């Protein structure tokens, strides 16, 4: 099996993590953007806790962030405090209710499951395949469709320079082997 591009592996991990975040947010009545704002506020310092900084960090418009901040404040998840030196500046803080909902929204079960899988695999983590191993562990812990890169699938086969899918019993082009497949099963 060829080594997958690190970008592809990270993108697959990110997609899987965001999917789990969306599921958790839906269960808790949050929009993904609300989770992102709360997560940012839990990690930013006193110089970076302004609405403008949130918008810059998330790469969103100030209007989108403003609407999210209004909702989060109404729900009691964040507070706003005017800056003592410049009254035009507002500082945001994560309130205890916000910290609680953030903790509930994080896909920590997924990471605990992936960590256990990695620790029990008996395979040493090496620089060359650490991303592949991490992605595989996240996919196994997720127990759902993984949408992984075809050539990293259990059903991917290569013989004499030809690629083949053992699941569909079809030949694969080189391009197909590099793309994301919804039928992906982690190795």
Q: Evaluate if residue 2 carries a pLDDT over 70.
A: no
Q: How far apart are CA 177 and CA 151, in angstroms?
A: 5
Give the separation between CA 67 and CA 100, rounded to whole angstroms. Answer: 21
Contact call for residues 96 and 122 (beta carbons, < 8 A): no
Q: Which CATH architecture fits 31-105?
A: Orthogonal Bundle (1.10)
Q: Whole-angstrom Cα distance, residue 4 to residue 22?
A: 27
- Cβ neighbours of 44 (radius 10 Å): 17
For the residues 104-128, what does the mean pLDDT come to?
A: 75
Instruction: Report how far residue 158's alpha carbon sits from residue 34's, in angstroms, rounded to the nearest whole number.
Output: 44
d(CA 130, CA 3): 11
Residues of the chain within CATH 1.10.10.10 domain(s) are 31-105
Task: Give the E-state strand segments of 1-86 in sequence order.
Answer: 78-82
Distance (Å, whole) CA 93 – CA 129: 39
How many angstroms separate the Cα of 143 from the Cα of each of 25, 101, 185?
A: 19, 24, 10
Question: Between the CA of residue 93 and those of 15, 45, 79, 104, 129, what are the distances in Å?
Answer: 28, 10, 5, 18, 39
- 13, 135 in Cβ contact below 8 A? yes
Question: For residue 170, what is the enclosing H or E element?
Answer: strand 170-172
Q: pLDDT tens, 150-187?
A: 888 888 999 888 998 888 788 888 887 877 676 777 77
Computed over every residue of the chain, the mean pLDDT equals: 83
Whether this model's pTM surpasses 0.75: no
* Chain segment 22-76, per-residue pLDDT in tens: 999 999 999 999 999 999 999 888 778 999 989 988 889 999 999 999 999 999 9
Q: What percent of the chain has pLDDT over 70?
A: 84
Question: Helix, strand or coil for residue 168?
Answer: coil
């Amino acid at each position: 099996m060829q080594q997958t591009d690190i970008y592809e592996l990270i993108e697959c991990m990110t997609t899987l993590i965001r999917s789990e975040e969306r599921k958790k947010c839906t269960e808790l009545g949050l929009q993904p953007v609300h989770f992102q704002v709360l997560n940012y506020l839990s990690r930013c310092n006193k110089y970076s806790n302004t609405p403008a900084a949130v918008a810059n960090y998330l790469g969103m418009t100030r209007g989108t962030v403003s609407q999210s901040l209004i909702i989060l404040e109404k729900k009691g998840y964040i507070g706003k405090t005017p800056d003592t030196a410049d009254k035009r500046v507002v500082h945001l803080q994560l309130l205890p209710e916000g910290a609680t909902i953030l903790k509930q929204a994080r896909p920590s079960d997924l990471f605990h499951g992936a960590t256990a899988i990695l620790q029990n695999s008996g395979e040493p983590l090496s620089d060359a395949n650490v991303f592949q191993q991490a992605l595989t562990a996240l996919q196994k812990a997720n127990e759902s469709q993984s949408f992984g890169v075809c050539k990293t699938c259990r059903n991917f086969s290569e013989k004499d320079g030809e690629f083949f899918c053992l699941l569909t019993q079809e030949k694969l082009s080189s391009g197909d082997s590099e793309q994301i497949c919804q039928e992906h099963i982690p190795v």
